[in-house]
Amino acid sequence: MYYECMNVSASVQAYFVKLGLSEQTPLLYAALTEFGPQTISELSRSSGVERTRIYRLLDELKSANLIEINQEYKHGIVKAAPLDNLQIMLAQKEQEVSDLHDLLPLIEQQLSPGGSDASSTQVRFYRGATGIKQMLWNETKAKGEILSILSEGIQLKTKSKFFERWVSRCNDRELQFRSIVGERFTTGQEQWYAAHINDGLQNWKGRKIDSCVFPVTHSTLIYDDIVGYFYWDKDEIFGIEIQNQLIASAQVSLFEMLWQQGKSIDTRS
């Protein structure tokens, strides 16, 4: 049988590389989907990949659940598995990223100057959407009640996937929340839940503060001995965390004064 050597687009190759696979693996997979099950020799001809390299590449594809190898007579027959099997690999990578997120605060604490001294003040700066998401994820490690002053609901910025994961983690840990919000927050919440069915925080209480009493121009997080501030508006996205018990205690006092002046709102967040 005559084979025309395979050629795949740069975007396909880049996707396989991002999955952790070698650049030539999509050539093998494309050849198998185009010409069907093949022996190693046939696959080398159809893909244009040297036989000496194929064995290692097939191991990668097998680990990714993208091929099956059946033994027939004295030859191994390689067959393409459904591309949907990549969902398994993507789920594993998502879990790995989730685990890395969970460990990051501990790594930061251990590697930051003075990180081993629990009494020393620590300041952490964050930039961009990824940085703010990290601040919010740090919040899920809280040991006590979480207080916040919110300019907008976080789901409006982080979108559904992160928000659902964040809510699930908070609810699993049975975290308690109290939030002071402004007009922009309540308007955004009404629009969001009119178009989405995401579950909200199970233990959340909110009060709305009039802008003439306290204008909510950015978001504040207060828990344990940490105070966080973040600003998220178009291309200007940044945040800061301060770990200092005296500062945290002062911010709790400010929060409680504002809480007394706020008006209760719908408990859904």
Check if CATH label 1.10.10.10 holds for domain 10-81: yes
pTM for this predicted structure: 0.57
pLDDT surpasses 90 at 146: yes
Residue 110 binned pLDDT confidence (cut-offs 50, 70, 90): low
**Per-residue pLDDT tens over the stretch 6-30:** 678 889 889 999 888 999 999 999 9
- pLDDT confidence of residue 193: 67
Q: In percent, how much of the chain has pLDDT > 70?
A: 86
- Where helices occur in 140-182 by DSSP H, the ranges are 155-172
C-alpha to C-alpha distance for 157 and 50, rounded to whole angstroms: 48
Amino acid at residue number 51: R
- Give the Cα separation of 67 and 138 in Å (integer): 39
Phi-psi region of 249 (alpha: psi -120 to 50; beta: other; left: phi over 0): alpha
> Distance of alpha carbon 11 from its chain centroid, rounded?
23
Q: Which of 7-11, 53-57, 224-228 shows the lowest per-residue confidence on average (mean pLDDT)? A: 7-11
Neighbouring CB atoms inside 10 A of 215's CB total: 12
Confidence of residue 59 (pLDDT cuts 50, 70, 90): very high
Of 3.40.50.970, 3.20.20.140, 3.40.50.2300, 3.30.870.10, which CATH number belongs to 121-264?
Answer: 3.30.870.10
Domain boundaries, the chain: 10-81, 121-264
Is residue 182 over pLDDT 50? yes
Residue 96's alpha-carbon distances to 129, 184, 232, in angstroms, are: 20, 36, 27
Distances (CA, A) of 257 to 125, 183, 261, 269: 28, 19, 7, 22
For residue 115, is pLDDT > 80?
no
pLDDT band at residue 1 under the 50/70/90 scheme: low
